Amino acid sequence: SPRARSAMPSWVIDRYGRNDVLRFTKDMMFPIIDFPNEVIIKVHAASLNPIDLSMRSGYGAAALNMKRDPLKLKSAEAEFPLTLGRDVSGVIMECGLSVSYFKPGDEVWAAIPPWKQGTLSEFVVASGNEVSFKPRCLTHIEAASLPYVGLTAWSAVKQVGGLNQSNCSGKRVLILGASGGVGTFAVQLVKAWGAHVTAVCSHDASTLVKKLGADDVIDYKAGNLEEQLKALPLFDFILDNVGGSTEKWALDLLKKWSGATYVTLVTPFLINMDKLGVADGMLQTGVTVGSKTLKHLLKGVHYRWAFFAPSGPSLDEIAQLVEAGKIQPVIDEVFTFSEVPKAFQKLEGGHARGKTVINVISKK
C-alpha cells in the first residue's frame, strides 16, 4: 500500500536555472496528508504551462516561498527539491478525515497551486476544494491539458472580467495570443457563452483557432497589428495573454463608457517581489495597478489584472461545458514520463498550438 512506501519517482529541481537543472529521482518523499481536507492523487497525466518554465528559472521564488512558509519556520533549503507541474488528471488514493465528497478510486482532475509540490510525480497531494471529478468523456491525457489554463481563463473572463453565460451573448471579445493554452480555452469559453470572438495568432494557427469557434482571426505577422485591429468595430472585452507593448494601444480598441474591460494576464507582481522583496514588491504592484486602473477609468474603460486561482467548484462548471461538447482539449504533443526535459524544451521553443502533456504512467 502507498502507506508502506516512503519514496516515489519524480522530476525535481535542486536549484533554479535552465533545463539542465531538471533531475529524475526515484527517492522523492511520498506525499503525506497533513490536513483533514487533503487527498492523495495517483497521477496518470500532467501537463506543462509557461509558469513551469518561469518557476524552473526562479521567477516568483520570493512570493512562493512566503506562501509556503509565511513564518519562516523552515530552513532556506526547504524549498528544494522542488517538483514542477501544475495540472493533474488521476485517481484518488487516499482521503483526509474531513473529505466526504471524494473516495479512493474516483477519477479526478485538478490544478495544484504553485506554492505546493507539483504533479511531475507518481503521487501528489491536493486540498479537496482544489479537486473536481474528471469529465467522463475525456481520457486522463486529454483532461490533464485543461485545469490550469481553464482556471486561468475562467478567473480572467468570469471572476475578474465579469462575463458569464447570461451577459456574454453578442458581446465583441478580442483575445490576444489565442493559440496558446489559455487562449484556446478562452476562445471556446466566450464562444460557448455566445460572444463574437476576434482572435489574434500567427497565420499557421488560424485554422485551429477558427475550428475552436473564432469569428475573425487576425494574423499578427501580416502587417501592423494595431492598424489591423483599429479597422474593426470596437470591443466590449479584451483578454491579453501577450503583454509587452500591446497594453499601450489595446485599450483604445474598447468601447468607451460602456463598462468595457481590458484584462491582462501579464502582471509585474512576482517580478516586483523578486526584485524588491515581498513587502516593497507588493506595495509597488499596488501602486502600479492603482494608477493604471484610475488612468483608464478616467478614459471610460476598465483595466484589470487576472491570476490563476485554484478552484474545484470552477472546475466542476468547466467539466459541465466539456461534457456538453462546448470545450475540447487542444493538445500539441504528448511526452512520456522519461521525456520531461524534452517536453520543457518543446515548451521553451514557444509557438505551441495548445498544450504539452506528460503521460506519467507510461512505463517508457
CATH code for the domain in which residue 109 is found: 3.90.180.10
The predicted model gives 40-59 an average pLDDT of: 95
Residues 116 and 203 in one domain: no
Predicted confidence (pLDDT) at residue 160 exceeds the cutoff of 90:
yes
Look at residue 99 in the predicted model and tell me its pLDDT: 97
Residues 182 and 272 in one domain: yes
CA geometry: angle 244, 246, 249, nearest 5 deg = 140
Residues 192 and 218 in one domain: yes
The predicted model gives 230-248 an average pLDDT of: 95
Closest alpha carbon to 92 in 130, 54, 47? 130
Residues 271 and 300 in one domain: yes
Please check whether residue 143 lies inside any domain of the structure: yes
Closest alpha carbon to 45 in 3, 108, 137? 108
Residues 121 and 248 in one domain: no
Residues 175 and 80 in one domain: no
**C-beta of residue 178 within 8 angstroms of C-beta of residue 229:** no
Predicted confidence (pLDDT) at residue 97 exceeds the cutoff of 90:
yes
Residues 251 and 321 in one domain: no
Closest alpha carbon to 141 in 9, 10, 44? 44
Indicate the residue among 305, 330, 350 that finishes a domain.
305
Distance CA 284, CA 297 (A): 20
Neighbouring-strand partners of residue 188: none
Residues 207 and 285 in one domain: yes
Radius of gyration of the chain (CA): 20
Distance CA 173, CA 194 (A): 10
Instruction: Say what percent of the chain tops pLDDT 90.
Output: 79
The predicted model gives 109-124 an average pLDDT of: 96
User: For 13-22, what is each residue's pLDDT tens digit?
Assistant: 999 999 999 9
**Count of beta carbons in the 10 Å neighbourhood of residue 178:** 29
Q: Quote the mean pLDDT of the chain.
A: 92
Residues recorded for the chain: 364
Contact partners, residue 309, CB within 8 Å, separation at least 6:
151, 155, 159
Look at residue 278 in the predicted model and tell me its pLDDT: 66
Q: Residue holding cell 474531513?
A: 98
Please check whether residue 327 lies inside any domain of the structure: yes
User: Residue 95 has which C-alpha cell?
Assistant: 482521503
Residues 236 and 176 in one domain: yes
User: Residue 262 has which C-alpha cell?
Assistant: 481590458
**C-beta of residue 106 within 8 angstroms of C-beta of residue 56:** no
Please check whether residue 60 lies inside any domain of the structure: yes
User: For 52-76, what is each residue's pLDDT tens digit?
Assistant: 999 999 988 887 888 888 777 776 5
Residues 86 and 35 in one domain: yes
E-strand spans in the chain? 7-13, 22-29, 38-48, 82-83, 87-95, 107-111, 123-127, 131-133, 172-176, 196-201, 216-219, 237-240, 261-264, 302-305, 331-336, 355-359
Please check whether residue 154 lies inside any domain of the structure: no
Which pTM value belongs to this model?
0.93
Indicate the residue among 305, 328, 349 that finishes a domain.
305
Count of domains for the chain: 2
Look at residue 76 in the predicted model and tell me its pLDDT: 59
Residues 120 and 236 in one domain: no
Please state which of the ranges 190-194, 244-248, 260-264 shows the lowest mean pLDDT.
Answer: 244-248
Please check whether residue 326 lies inside any domain of the structure: yes
User: For 300-349, what is each residue's pLDDT tens digit?
Assistant: 999 999 989 999 999 999 999 999 999 999 999 999 999 999 999 999 99
CATH number at residue 234: 3.40.50.720
**C-beta of residue 80 within 8 angstroms of C-beta of residue 17:** no
Structural domain range at position 258: 161-305
How far CA 245 is from CA of 160, 199, 223, 242, 251, in Å, comes to 22, 18, 16, 9, 11
Q: What is the DSSP letter of 31?
A: P
Please check whether residue 364 lies inside any domain of the structure: no
User: For 260-303, what is each residue's pLDDT tens digit?
Assistant: 999 999 877 666 667 777 678 777 877 787 788 888 888 899 99
Contact partners, residue 306, CB within 8 Å, separation at least 6:
152, 155, 156, 159, 160, 161, 263, 264, 265
Predicted confidence (pLDDT) at residue 2 exceeds the cutoff of 70:
no
User: Residue 261 has which C-alpha cell?
Assistant: 474591460
Please check whether residue 155 lies inside any domain of the structure: no
Helix (H, G, I), strand (E, B) or coil at 90: strand
Predicted confidence (pLDDT) at residue 364 exceeds the cutoff of 60:
no
The predicted model gives 246-256 an average pLDDT of: 95
Instruction: Say what percent of the chain tops pLDDT 70.
Output: 95
Residues 277 and 317 in one domain: no
Contact partners, residue 267, CB within 8 Å, separation at least 6:
285, 289, 305, 307
Look at residue 322 in the predicted model and tell me its pLDDT: 98
Please check whether residue 285 lies inside any domain of the structure: yes
Query: What b-and-e string marks burial along 349-359, b requiring 16 or more CB atoms within 10 Å of the CB?
Result: eeebbbbbbbb
Neighbouring-strand partners of residue 8: 28
